[in-house]
Amino acid sequence: MNIESKGILKVAVKDIQSMSHETYALLRKNGFGASDSSILCGVNLYKNLEQLLTEKNTKYLTEEEKEVGDKPIVRKGYDLEPIILAKAEEALKTKISKPADMYAFKEVDGLTVNYDGVFVDEMNNYIPVEAKLVSKFGEKYYNKGIRTVEAMDVKTDMEGTSLEQHIKLKALKLGIPAYYYTQVQQEIAGLDAPYGYLAALFDDSWTFKVFYVPRDPYVIRSIYELCKENIGKIKRD
């Protein structure tokens, strides 16, 4: 699998899988990864853009960042990622690969992405699969009753009066949190994919579901623009 062949991404850092969590966390401070997209778009529940920029410009791991990394649900998520991807393979009936590198967008300085999993569909599209272990607290932001066929009918044309409202409405229709909707969109953008998946393992009920996420050009354009507006506010190595 050659992700660079799509012409959108280039390898930024080789083999991030061999790095310690601390080394990787420090590396992420130099740009906006897919998990930062919800903050850029104003739909993150826990952090705003000003806080994110302060964190990026602190070139060491703060006590807050260390505490987040030490949370049991976060550590369990790292350990269980292979199991989540294996369950996604079974559900989607396909082989999912784990890219080893971090990628940077060629045309958007400072925007990066790495992938939990990627597979090739029947149309030769590279499709991202984001793996999540969902805590008991986080489970309320999902609707496990949404069927894939219903999600495929969700239109991504502009809805609502703002970017934030648009994202929340689309995520609601797909049954996923708004803060993961943007993350999957950034992953979709890097692969020039028509859609992606969020594979969720629910820790409390120990149930599993794969959520379909269609490509949303409006959100992708917004992520690009917001990165360009704010990347200069980061003191980069």
> pTM value?
0.94
Q: Which pLDDT value is given to residue 17?
A: 82
pLDDT bracket for residue 237 (50, 70, 90) = low
Bridge partners, 34 (sequence order)? none
- The answer on pLDDT for 65 being more than 90 is no
Q: What is the mean pLDDT of residues 168-190?
A: 97
CA distances 72 to 6, 79, 133, Å, are: 37, 11, 11
- Counting Cα atoms < 13 Å in the Cβ hemisphere of 119 gives 18
CA distances 9 to 54, 60, 101, 149, 194, Å, are: 27, 27, 11, 30, 16
Contact 116, 85 (CB under 8 A): yes
Q: Which of 65-79, 153-167, 178-192 has the lowest mean pLDDT?
A: 65-79
Level-2 CATH architecture, domain 3-233: Alpha-Beta Complex (3.90)
Give percent above pLDDT 90 in the chain.
75
Q: What is the mean pLDDT of residues 126-141?
A: 94
Q: Which pLDDT value is given to residue 22?
A: 83
Q: Which pLDDT value is given to residue 120?
A: 96
Q: Which helix (H) or strand (E) holds 96?
A: none
Contact 192, 6 (CB under 8 A): yes
Q: What is the mean pLDDT of residues 47-75?
A: 82
- The answer on pLDDT for 121 being more than 90 is yes
How far from chain centre, in Å, is Cα 215?
Answer: 13
Q: What pLDDT, in 10s, does the model give residues 194-216?
A: 999 999 999 999 999 999 999 99
pLDDT bracket for residue 122 (50, 70, 90) = very high
Nearest residue to 156 (alpha-carbon basis) of 146, 141, 171, 136: 171
Burial degree of 215 (CB within 10 A; 0-12, 13-18, 19+): middle
What does pLDDT average to over the chain?
92
Query: How far, in Å, CA of 45 to CA of 59, rounded?
Result: 24
Q: What is the mean pLDDT of residues 33-42?
A: 96
Query: How far, in Å, CA of 191 to CA of 11, rounded?
Result: 13
pLDDT bracket for residue 69 (50, 70, 90) = low
Query: How far, in Å, CA of 35 to CA of 113, rounded?
Result: 9
Q: Which pLDDT value is given to residue 59?
A: 81
Structure tokens at 159: 């809805």
Query: How far, in Å, CA of 15 to CA of 39, rounded?
Result: 26
- The answer on pLDDT for 104 being more than 90 is yes
- The answer on pLDDT for 67 being more than 90 is no
Nearest residue to 103 (alpha-carbon basis) of 22, 14, 24, 164: 14
Q: Which helix (H) or strand (E) holds 9?
A: strand 9-13
